[in-house]
Structure 1
Amino acid sequence: MKQSSAKFGIGEVVRHKLFPFRGVVFDVDPEFANTEEWWNAIPADVRPDRDQPFYHLLAENSETEYVAYVSEQNLEHDGSGEPLRNPHVEQIFVEEQAGRYRPKANFTH
């Protein structure tokens, strides 16, 4: 395993570089840690490297809210400052400032 550090932290709001969705990071895997079925469902021509951080997001697009699992290479900081509407955000986080959330005390390790 290549040693790497995560570019984005818990509570940071990010957006996908290719698809129109954004979300807040609630967990990070240092490298790919999902199922082979999930991995193989990604078209080979856009499949990211496994050897990089993958982020669990409380995500949303213009139509719905959901949980997403995204490689670091496909994410960038979201500087919009817009609040997230995903209902789970309020269960886990407190908004610290625009674009940054802090985990509630009962969700920290």
Structure 2
Amino acid sequence: MQKRSTKIVETRFGIGQVVKHRLFPFRGVVFDIDPEFDNTDEWYEAIPEDVRPAKEQPYYHLLAENDDTEYVAYVSEQNLLLDDSGKPVRHPQVEEIFDWNSENRSYTTRDNFGH
């Protein structure tokens, strides 16, 4: 049995928070977090070098949207800001994972998610 080291990383955002990209016009809800970059080298190298983020930081999986479409995004912490619009995300998979609290204008993980 192989031991797996546990690395505790502080993150700026949490599961269920709505965030927006600081450079590009999209927003989304966080559904997973990697403590550091965990995607392909090909994906990473496709980012223009002048805006390529460091690998040694948290990366967030988002159910994202822009004016035209919904998709899944993978974004470095340095490129995210809190979205304070108070509006729910329209991505079609949001309701599979989260419940929207209209009073608090925030998401909570559904009780039955993952079961």
Q: Tell me which interval the TM-score lies in, with the shorter structure as reference length.
A: over 0.9
User: What's 2:46 paired with?
Assistant: 41
| Higher radius of gyration, 1 or 2 | 2
Q: State the alpha-carbon separation in 2 of the partners of residues 4 and 93 from structure 1.
A: 24
RMSD between aligned alpha carbons?
Answer: 1.5
SS at match of 1:105: coil
Q: Which runs of 5+ in 1 are unaligned?
A: none
What's the secondary structure of 1:24's corresponding residue? strand
In structure 1, the residue matched to 2:75 is 70
Question: How do 1:5-20 and structure 2 match up within 5 A?
Answer: 5-20=10-25
With the length of structure 1 as denominator, give the TM-score of the two structures: 0.92
Q: Relative contact order, CA 8 A, sep 6+: which one is greater?
A: 1
What secondary structure, in the 3-state scheme, does the structure 1 residue paired with 2:15 have?
A: coil
SS of match in other structure, 1:107: coil
| Percent of aligned pairs with the same amino acid | 64
After TM superposition, give the deviation of residue 84 of structure 1 in Å: 1.2
Shift of 1:3: 6.1
Superposed displacement of residue 83, structure 1: 1.6
Hey, what's the Cα distance between the residues in 1 that align with 2:13 and 2:88? 18
Corresponding position of 1:54: 59
Per-residue displacement from partner, 1:51-95 (whole Å, max 9, x unpaired)? 000000000000000000000000000000112111111111001
Structure 1 segments (4+ residues) deviating >2 Å: none
Q: Which runs of 5+ in 2 are unaligned?
A: 1-6
2:109 and 2:9 mapped to 1: Cα distance? 23
Q: What's the TM-score, normalizing by structure 2?
A: 0.88
Q: Answer yes or no: is 1:105 the counterpart of 2:111.
A: yes
Aligned length: 107
